[in-house]
C-alpha cells in the first residue's frame, strides 16, 4: 500500500471530527478512490460528494471502498476533501472501539497518483462540533451537532502512523443518496416552532433549507410518532435530536454522516425563521424488488409494506430498527434474510451479514449481541439461530463457500454448547453479560439483563441446540466439510427434552418452558419443540391444533402467545406439521395482525403489536423482523385466493 493511516492529532478523543485535504492533478483514464476510515467518512472531489459511509467493520477486519471518481474530475488541479468522524465509543451496539484514522489512495490506470500521508493537510472540522458525546441511544451511539458559523483553523500536515492493516474490499454495494423527502408542515408557531410530516417512515440524512436574519441555534427532533402534539425528542436516556447553529442569511444543510429514521420532524428556533423545506434524504441499499401478486388488495398492501419495511432496515447490513438502534442481530436478520431472498432475489447482502457475524470475538466463544459491537452482552440463543441462518443462506444461494469459510467458527460455536451438556440437557449461561433471552411475552422467556444467575435447563435453548446440530449435519453434507455424526446426540437430546419438559394440561400434550417454570407453557416453546422433532407424531398433531386455534378464530389456547419477532417459529411449526391443513391459518393470522397495523396508518411494520407504546414508549414502528409476510406470501402462494 502507498497510503498511510493518518489523523489530525496525536491524542484523538471520543466524538471527534477532522477534515483532510489533498490536491492532485488529473489526466486521462478512469480514476478511482480507495478509502477507509475509523469511524465514518464523507469524501468530496472538487466539492461534490463522491463517496460516503464506512462499512461496518472491526479494527481487525477493516473494509475499504473503491469508487470511480472520474466524472468529478476536471483538467489540471483537483481537490479531494474528506470529512471524518471518529466515534471513540466504547459500548455502542453498532461500533467497536478502534483507532482514529483515515486511509486513501487515488489511482489512475493502476498507478497511485495521490495517497494519505504526512503531506496530507488536515484540521479539526470547521463545522461539526467535536466532543459533545450526546448519545442517541446506547445501541446507536452518538448524534452530531453542526455550527455553520464556526470559522475553521488553518490546515496543517497530518500525522501518519506505520500501523499495518490489511484492507478488505467492501462486500456489498455502496448506498444510494436520493433527493430530500420534504415534510408537510402540520404546525407553524410564529416561525419558531414547526412540526412536519414526511408522509411515511423514511430513513436518511437530515436536510434543512431556511433563512434567518441572525445567528441562532435550531434544535431539530425526529421520530416515528407524535405524542401530545410533539415528537418525542427525549425518551428516557435516549436523545433523538440534533442542534444546528445557523449563520445569518440562507442556510441549506444536508448531513452526510448519521442516518435518522422516522416520519416526523420538529424544529425549535430561538427566533423566527423562514422555512423553505425540511426532511430526510433517503439512503437506500440498491436492490431490485421482485414483482409479486398477493391476490387481494389487502394482502398486496401487507406484502408491499413488508418489503418497504425490509428496505428501510437495510443499509451497511440488515438492522433491527432505523429509528432507535440500527443494529445487526442474528435472530432479527435471520427473518430479514428469508424475506429478502424472495423480495429482492439476491443473496449477496445476506452473505455479507453472516460473514460479519463470524468475525465476532468473545472470550466465552459465543457470538456477540450485535456486529460490530462494543457492548458486553451476548444472547446465547441467538448464537444457535446463527446455524439456521447459515443453512438457509446456503440452500437459497446454492453457495457452500460461506459455510466452508466460516466452518471453524461454526464448529467452535457448536462445541461451546455441547460442552455444557449434562444428562442430555444444556443449562442456560450464567455470567452477568449473558442475556438468556428468547421472547418478550413472559418474564421467564425475556430473561434478565446484567444479572449473573445459575438457572436450570429450559426448553427453548435445548430445542434450538437440537436444531443447530441438525443444521450442521445438513451443512456438512452440502459442503463436504468434516463433522462428527450428530444423529445420536440429536436422538438422545430429544428423549431428554421430552422427559424433562412434557407437562400435559387437562390430558392435552404440552411442553413447559423450563424446569423452574413447569406451569409456564408458551407458543414459542411448543413450536420449537415441534421444529426440533421432540414430540411424537400424535403429540405434534395435538400441539399444532392448539397453536392454530388462536390464529383460526381467536380461541384462547392457554399458551403464552408469541410476539411479532417469534411468530415465524409458530408458522413454521404448523407448516412443518401439515402444510395443507395449516397454511390457511397462517395466512389468516398474517392478515389479522398486519391488517390491524395498516388500519392504524402504519407505513412500515412495528416491533410489536403494541406499536409505539411498547417498551415504555420506545416501541419502534419500523422493525426488520416484522417483514416476514414478504417471505410467507411467496412460499404460500398456492394458498392465496
Residue-level pLDDT at 28: 81
Domain presence at residue 320: no
> What are the grid coordinates assigned to 105, written together?
489512495
CB-based contacts of 419, cutoff 8 Å, min separation 6? none
Domain presence at residue 624: no
Domain presence at residue 288: no
Residues 190, 60, single domain; the answer is: no
Residue-level pLDDT at 193: 98
Q: Are 231 and 223 in contact (CB under 8 A)?
A: yes
> What are the grid coordinates assigned to 121, written together?
493537510
Would you tell me how many other CB atoms lie within 10 Å of the CB of residue 310? Answer: 28
Which ranges of the chain have pLDDT less than 70? 1
Residue-level pLDDT at 527: 98
Residues 51, 110, single domain; the answer is: yes
Q: Are 217 and 295 in contact (CB under 8 A)?
A: no
> What are the grid coordinates assigned to 369, written together?
449481541
Residues 271, 358, single domain; the answer is: no
Nearest to 546 by CA among 557, 535, 537: 557
Rounded to an integer, what distance in angstroms lies between the CA atom of residue 547 and that of residue 534? 16
Domain presence at residue 625: no
Residues 397, 519, single domain; the answer is: yes
Residues in the chain: 641
Domain presence at residue 395: yes
Q: Are 36 and 65 in contact (CB under 8 A)?
A: yes
Residue for cell digits 446463527? 386
Would you tell me how many other CB atoms lie within 10 Å of the CB of residue 268? Answer: 17
Residue-level pLDDT at 322: 97
Rounded to an integer, what distance in angstroms lies between the CA atom of residue 446 and that of residue 459? 13
Rounded to an integer, what distance in angstroms lies between the CA atom of residue 490 and that of residue 389? 19
CB-based contacts of 545, cutoff 8 Å, min separation 6? none
List the CATH number of the domain containing 393: 1.50.10.10
DSSP state of 638: G
- For the chain, the distance separating the N- and C-terminal CA atoms, rounded to the nearest angstrom, is 59
Domain presence at residue 379: yes
Residues 414, 512, single domain; the answer is: yes
Residues 161, 190, single domain; the answer is: no
List the CATH number of the domain containing 91: 2.60.120.260
Domain presence at residue 576: no
pTM of the model: 0.97
Rounded to an integer, what distance in angstroms lies between the CA atom of residue 544 and that of residue 524? 12
Residues 241, 361, single domain; the answer is: no
Residue-level pLDDT at 547: 96
Q: What is 176-198 written as a DSSP string? A: P----EEPEEEEEETTTEEEEEE
Residue-level pLDDT at 257: 96
Element containing residue 264 per DSSP (H, E): strand 260-268
Q: Which of 261, 282, 303 is the last residue of a domain?
A: 282
Q: Which of 495, 518, 547 is the last residue of a domain?
A: 547
Domain residue limits at 243: 181-282
Residues 30, 86, single domain; the answer is: yes
Q: Across-strand partners of 230?
A: 227
Residues 397, 521, single domain; the answer is: yes
Domain presence at residue 82: yes
Q: Are 471 and 403 in contact (CB under 8 A)?
A: no
- Peptide linkage before 372 cis (omega within 30 of 0): yes
Residue for cell digits 478523543? 13
Q: Which of 497, 512, 547 is the last residue of a domain?
A: 547
Rounded to an integer, what distance in angstroms lies between the CA atom of residue 46 and that of residue 34? 17
Q: Are 417 and 472 in contact (CB under 8 A)?
A: no
Residues 429, 379, single domain; the answer is: yes
Phi, psi (rounded to 5 degrees) for 56: -60, 120
Q: What is 467-479 written as a DSSP string? A: HHHHHHHHHHHHH
Buried b (16+ CB within 10 A) or exposed e, 395-411: eebebbebbeebbebbe
Q: Across-strand partners of 391?
A: none
In the chain, how many domains are there? 3
Residue-level pLDDT at 1: 65
Residues 269, 395, single domain; the answer is: no
pLDDT digits 0-9 by tens, 356-414: 999 999 999 999 999 999 999 999 999 999 999 999 999 999 999 999 999 999 999 99
Residues 457, 367, single domain; the answer is: yes
Q: Coil, strand, or helix at residue 87?
A: coil
Amino acid at each position: 500500500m502507498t497510503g498511510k493511516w493518518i489523523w489530525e492529532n496525536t491524542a484523538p478523543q471520543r466524538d471527534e471530527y477532522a477534515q483532510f485535504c489533498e490536491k492532485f492533478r488529473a489526466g486521462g483514464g478512469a480514476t478511482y478512490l480507495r478509502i477507509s476510515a475509523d469511524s465514518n467518512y464523507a469524501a468530496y472531489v472538487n466539492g461534490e460528494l463522491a463517496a460516503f459511509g464506512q462499512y461496518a467493520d472491526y479494527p481487525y477486519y477493516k473494509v475499504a471502498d473503491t469508487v470511480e471518481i472520474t466524472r468529478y474530475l476536471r483538467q489540471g488541479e483537483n481537490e479531494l476533501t474528506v470529512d471524518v468522524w471518529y466515534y471513540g465509543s466504547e459500548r455502542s451496539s453498532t461500533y467497536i472501539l478502534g483507532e482514529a484514522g483515515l486511509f486513501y489512495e487515488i489511482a489512475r490506470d493502476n498507478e497511485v497518483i495521490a495517497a494519505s500521508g504526512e503531506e496530507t493537510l488536515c484540521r479539526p472540522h470547521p463545522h461539526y462540533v467535536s466532543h459533545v458525546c450526546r448519545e442517541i441511544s446506547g445501541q446507536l451511539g452518538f448524534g452530531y451537532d453542526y455550527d455553520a458559523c464556526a470559522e475553521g483553523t488553518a490546515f496543517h500536515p497530518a500525522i501518519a502512523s506505520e500501523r499495518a492493516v490489511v484492507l478488505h474490499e467492501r462486500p456489498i454495494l455502496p448506498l444510494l443518496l436520493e433527493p430530500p423527502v420534504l415534510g408537510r408542515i402540520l404546525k407553524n408557531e410564529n416561525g419558531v416552532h414547526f412540526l412536519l410530516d414526511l408522509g411515511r417512515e423514511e430513513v436518511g440524512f437530515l436536510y434543512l433549507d431556511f433563512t434567518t436574519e441572525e445567528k441562532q441555534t435550531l434544535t431539530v427532533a425526529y421520530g416515528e410518532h407524535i405524542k401530545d402534539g410533539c415528537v418525542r425528542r427525549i425518551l428516557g436516556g435516549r436523545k433523538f435530536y440534533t442542534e444546528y447553529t445557523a449563520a445569518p442569511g440562507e442556510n441549506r444543510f444536508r448531513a452526510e454522516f448519521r442516518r435518522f429514521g422516522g416520519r416526523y420532524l420538529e424544529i425549535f428556533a430561538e427566533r423566527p425563521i423562514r422555512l423553505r423545506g425540511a426532511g430526510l434524504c433517503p439512503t437506500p441499499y440498491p436492490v431490485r424488488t421482485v414483482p409479486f401478486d398477493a391476490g387481494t388488495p389487502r394482502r398486496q398492501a401487507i406484502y408491499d409494506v413488508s418489503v418497504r419495511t425490509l428496505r428501510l432496515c437495510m443499509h451497511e447490513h440488515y438492522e433491527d430498527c432505523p429509528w432507535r438502534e440500527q443494529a445487526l442481530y442474528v435472530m432479527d436478520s435471520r427473518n430479514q434474510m428469508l424475506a429478502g431472498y424472495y423480495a429482492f432475489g439476491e443473496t449477496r447482502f445476506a452473505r455479507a451479514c453472516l460473514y460479519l457475524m463470524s468475525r465476532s470475538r468473545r472470550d466465552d466463544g459465543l457470538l456477540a449481541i450485535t456486529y460490530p459491537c462494543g457492548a458486553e452482552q451476548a444472547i446465547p440463543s441467538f448464537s444457535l439461530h446463527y446455524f439456521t441462518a447459515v443453512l438457509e443462506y446456503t440452500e437459497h444461494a446454492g453457495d457452500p463457500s460461506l459455510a466452508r469459510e466460516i466452518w471453524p467458527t461454526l464448529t467452535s460455536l457448536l462445541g461451546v454448547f455441547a460442552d455444557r451438556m449434562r444428562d442430555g440437557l444444556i443449562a442456560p449461561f450464567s455470567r452477568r453479560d449473558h442475556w438468556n433471552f428468547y421472547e418478550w411475552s413472559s418474564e421467564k422467556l425475556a430473561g434478565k439483563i446484567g444479572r449473573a444467575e445459575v438457572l436450570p435447563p429450559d426448553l427453548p435453548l435445548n430445542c434450538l441446540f437440537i436444531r443447530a446440530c441438525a443444521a450442521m449435519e445438513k451443512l456438512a453434507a452440502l459442503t463436504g466439510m468434516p463433522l462428527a455424526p450428530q444423529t445420536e446426540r440429536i436422538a438422545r437430546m430429544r428423549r431428554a427434552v421430552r422427559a424433562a419438559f412434557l407437562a400435559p394440561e387437562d390430558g392435552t400434550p404440552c411442553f413447559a418452558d423450563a424446569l423452574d417454570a413447569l406451569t409456564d407453557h408458551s407458543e414459542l416453546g411448543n413450536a420449537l419443540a415441534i421444529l426440533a422433532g421432540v414430540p411424537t407424531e400424535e403429540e405434534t398433531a395435538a400441539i399444532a391444533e392448539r397453536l392454530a386455534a388462536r390464529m383460526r378464530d381467536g380461541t384462547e389456547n392457554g399458551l403464552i402467545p408469541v410476539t411479532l419477532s417469534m411468530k415465524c417459529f409458530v408458522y413454521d411449526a404448523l407448516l412443518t406439521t401439515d402444510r395443507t391443513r395449516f397454511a390457511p391459518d397462517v395466512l389468516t393470522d398474517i392478515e389479522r395482525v398486519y391488517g390491524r397495523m395498516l388500519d392504524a396508518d402504519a407505513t412500515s411494520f412495528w416491533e410489536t403489536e403494541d406499536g409505539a407504546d411498547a417498551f415504555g414508549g420506545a416501541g419502534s414502528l419500523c422493525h426488520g423482523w416484522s417483514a416476514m409476510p414478504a417471505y410467507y406470501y411467496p412460499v404460500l402462494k398456492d394458498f392465496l385466493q
